[in-house]
Amino acid sequence: MFKSGEIKNLCYSSNELTELSEEIINYSKLEELYIDDNNIKDLPENLANLNNLKILYVEGNPLNAHALKVIDILHPKICDIKTKKG
């Protein structure tokens, strides 16, 4: 089992998730996050504090205006932000 601080890649694609936990901030070394094809409407603001995040896949989620704002904040830090499947 890995400590959350050591995980670099997380894949929650197609898991029928309705939210992404605020606990995501504990994955401080996270570089890739795949949350495409779920039912996530909002994203936690602290997602924008993941400084190592380079890839984010979010397509297939009914994201609200707040979630899109979080993505806008993340975008300058991310080399590859995608709204398509990973």
Q: Give pLDDT, residue 2.
A: 60
Q: Which among 3, 22, 7, 19 has a CA at the least distance from the CA of 53?
A: 7
Indicate the domain borders of the chain.
Answer: 4-82
Hey, which CATH number is domain 4-82, 3.80.10.10, 3.90.105.20, 2.40.100.10, 3.20.20.140?
3.80.10.10
CA end-to-end distance (rounded Å), the chain: 24
Residue 1: the pLDDT is: 47
CB 33 within 8 A of CB 10: yes
Tell which residue, 72, 49, 46, 50, has the closest CA to residue 58.
72
Model confidence pLDDT, tens digit, residues 10-21: 999 999 999 999
Angle ∠(76,10,48) on CA atoms, nearest 5: 30
Question: Which pLDDT score is estimated for 6?
Answer: 87
The half-sphere exposure of 86 on its side-chain side, counting CA atoms within 13 A, is 20
Residue 85 banded pLDDT, cuts 50, 70, 90: very low
Confidence of residue 84 (pLDDT cuts 50, 70, 90): very low
Task: Determine what percent of the chain is predicted with pLDDT higher than 70.
Answer: 87
Instruction: Give the per-residue pLDDT at 79.
Output: 58
